[in-house]
A = this chain, B = another copy of it.
Amino acid sequence: MILGWIGTGIMGHSMARHLLDAGYCLNVYNRTKSKATELLNAGAVWCPSPKAVAANADIVFLMVGFPQDVRETILGSQGVLEGLQSNGIIVDMTTSSPTLAQEIEKECRKKNIVSLDAPVSGGDLGAKNATLSIMIGGDKQTAELLTPFWNLMGKTVVYHGASGNGQHAKMVNQILIAGNMIGLCEAILYGFRCGLDMEKVLQSVSGGAAGSWSLTNLAPRICKKDFAPGFMIEHFIKDLGIVLEESQRMGLTLPGLALAEQLYNSAKSKGYAKNGTHALILALEELR
C-alpha cells in the first residue's frame, strides 16, 4: 500500500512521520520543499505536485493551510483528483470549511473516490506525540477501514457522521475556545488593573467552576508575558471566519463568536497575527 501526504508544516510533518515510522511507503508534496527534508531523509518520496503524489497512491492525506489551499490541492489542475485512481481515498485533515468538504466529497464520488474530512485538535505537541483528537466526517465504512492510520496519529478518534461533520465538530471546538479566550484575557486584564497578585488569584479560581484548560495552560504564560504561539492568531481567524460563514448559511446568530472574530482581527491589525491566541490580551489592553 502506498500513502500520499500533502502539507508538511508543523502539524503535517509530525503526523506524516508517524505513518512513515510505521513502515508505510509515503509520497510527499509541500509548497516549500525544504520543509519536507526530514521526511525525505527518513525515506519519503518527493513528488512535484499533488497530482503526482496521488498517481500511484491508495490513500492521500492533506494537512494544508486555508480552505482555498484545500480546494486547489484537491480540485485544481495539478490536484489530487487529477492523479488518484478510482477507489482511492482522500483524507483532508486541515481545519477547513464544512461546506467545501461536502462539495469535494460530491466531486470525488463522481470519480468513485471516497473523501473524508478529519480535522484534528491537540496542536503541535499532540501531532508529535500522536495524542491528537481526530474528528471524522464522511463514509462510515471507509472511516472504520482507516482505523490503523487514525491510531498512528491520534488518541481520541470519533466518527461524527456525514461529510462535513468532522469539520463541524472542529468548529464546535473553536467556538468553545473563542468564548473561553475572551473570558480568560478580560479576567486577567481586570486582575492586573486591580493590582491583584495573579498567581494567587489563579490559586483561588483554577480549581472551581471557572477552571479550564486555557486557564491552567495559558494564564501562566500571559502572566510571564510569553506570547509565543501554541496556536497562531492568523490561523484562528481563519476558523472564526468559517464558523461565521456556516452560521450565516444556517441562519444562526452567534454574537460572542462575532465579537471574537472582530477582536482577533483587531489583534491581527495591531501586529499580533503570528502570536498565540492568548495574545488577545494585548489587543484588549490597547482598547482603552
Contact of B200 with A158 in the complex, beta carbons under 8 Å: yes
Residue A23 at the chain B interface, CB threshold 8 Å: no
Given A182-B256, A187-B179, A189-B254, A169 and B204 contact (CB-CB distance below 8 Å): yes
Residue A45 at the chain B interface, CB threshold 8 Å: no
Residue A223 at the chain B interface, CB threshold 8 Å: no
Residue A196 at the chain B interface, CB threshold 8 Å: yes
Given A169-B196, A190-B175, A252-B193, A180 and B210 contact (CB-CB distance below 8 Å): yes
Residue A214 at the chain B interface, CB threshold 8 Å: yes
Alpha-carbon gap, A278 to B251, bound state (A) = 22
Contact of B257 with A259 in the complex, beta carbons under 8 Å: no
Residue A165 at the chain B interface, CB threshold 8 Å: yes
For A194, give its contact among B165, B177, B200 (CB under 8 Å): B165
Contact of B209 with A213 in the complex, beta carbons under 8 Å: yes
Contacts of A187 in B (CB 8 A): 172-173, 175-176, 179
Alpha-carbon gap, A254 to B255, bound state (A) = 15
Alpha-carbon gap, A74 to B41, bound state (A) = 75
Contacts of A215 in B (CB 8 A): 176, 212
Given contacts A180-B183, A212-B213, 18 further A-B contacts (CB under 8 A): A158-B203, A168-B191, A169-B200, A171-B190, A172-B210, A173-B187, A179-B181, A179-B183, A180-B212, A182-B182, A186-B254, A193-B250, A194-B246, A211-B213, A212-B212, A253-B284, A254-B284, A256-B263
A-B contact pairs, 20 of them (CB 8 A): A122-B209, A133-B204, A156-B204, A156-B208, A158-B201, A158-B203, A160-B204, A168-B196, A172-B191, A176-B183, A179-B182, A182-B256, A186-B256, A190-B243, A190-B252, A194-B246, A212-B213, A212-B215, A253-B284, A256-B260
